[in-house]
Amino acid sequence: MKFFADTAEIAEIRELAATGLLDGVTTNPSLIAKAGRNFIEAVREICELVEGPVSAEVAATDEETMLAEARKLAAIAENVAIKVPLTWAGLKTCRTLSQDGIMVNVTLCFSANQALLAAKAGAAFVSPFVGRMDDVGEDGMALIRDIRTIFDNYPDLGTEVLAASIRHPRHITEAALAGADVATVPPSVLKQIVNHPLTDKGLAQFLADWKKTGQSIL
């Protein structure tokens, strides 16, 4: 499973990119507002740090303006993926852009039928929001499993399932088990998954035993 960082904070992206474990980045208007950055400049800088897809979201809701915004964003770098909402206008925009060879991430997906429409419109990624589903008492991971099953039934659909609205490490495990192609994760959650108390305990024991030997490798 690929890991995308869900952030617009340049320092966080730079740190994660240096590990070689980061496959892409997703941004949205809320993350841009939180970062307090100029949108175009932030996307350009992120694209320079990350080789994989960088999702940049249009702000318009009508097809004509979406397309104009999308083309401006796509011109920033070759690895920009245009993010559009799962609306009729968004799907039509997705179709046009995908036919022109531009990656599209269809976001705000909350049903398997919506995901199927996005795939048929040519989306490179569809983003089911598992955390927000859980918030309203529905099973976000069941949605991932349903979409995975449908897409596997039709191999000609090339759309990747991007598990979004990830809230905690268990979500990452469950998304991988459900067959998500990508998890887009806040940097704080991505860093949590390296930690385990038994790892810390084992390392402390090894270091203590090594000290007793009185040896040095260097």
**Cβ(86)–Cβ(109) below 8 Å:** yes
Q: Domain residues of the chain, as ranges?
A: 2-213
CATH architecture under which domain 2-213 falls = Alpha-Beta Barrel (3.20)
* Mean pLDDT within 131-145: 96
Q: What is the mean pLDDT of residues 59-72?
A: 98
- pLDDT (mean) for 61-72: 98
State mean pLDDT over 58-81: 98
C-alpha dihedral sign at 42, 47, 49, 52: positive
Taking the C-alpha atoms of residue 70 and residue 97, their distance in angstroms, rounded to an integer, is 8
Establish whether 83 is a catalytic residue.
yes
Residue 170 confidence class, pLDDT cut points 50, 70, 90? very high
pLDDT in tens, 173-194: 999 999 999 999 999 999 999 9
User: Structure pTM?
Assistant: 0.93
Read off the pLDDT of each residue in 99-123 and give the average, rounded to a whole number: 98
Residue with tokens 């609205």: 165
| Contact of 85 with 108, CB cutoff 8 Å | yes
How far is the CA of 55 from the CAs of 73, 105, 200, 214, 218, in angstroms? 10, 7, 35, 52, 45
Of 2, 72, 83, 191, catalytic: 83
Q: How many CB atoms lie within 10 A of CB 11?
A: 10
pLDDT bin (cut points 50, 70, 90) of residue 4 is very high
Specify the amino acid at residue 168.
H
Dist. CA 98–CA 106, nearest whole Å: 11
3-state secondary structure 145-158: HHHHHHHHHCCCCC
Residue 122 Ramachandran class (φ > 0 left, ψ -120 to 50 alpha, else beta): left
- Residue 101 predicted with pLDDT over 90: yes
Average pLDDT value for residue range 14-38: 93
Mean pLDDT for the chain overall: 96
pLDDT bin (cut points 50, 70, 90) of residue 29 is confident
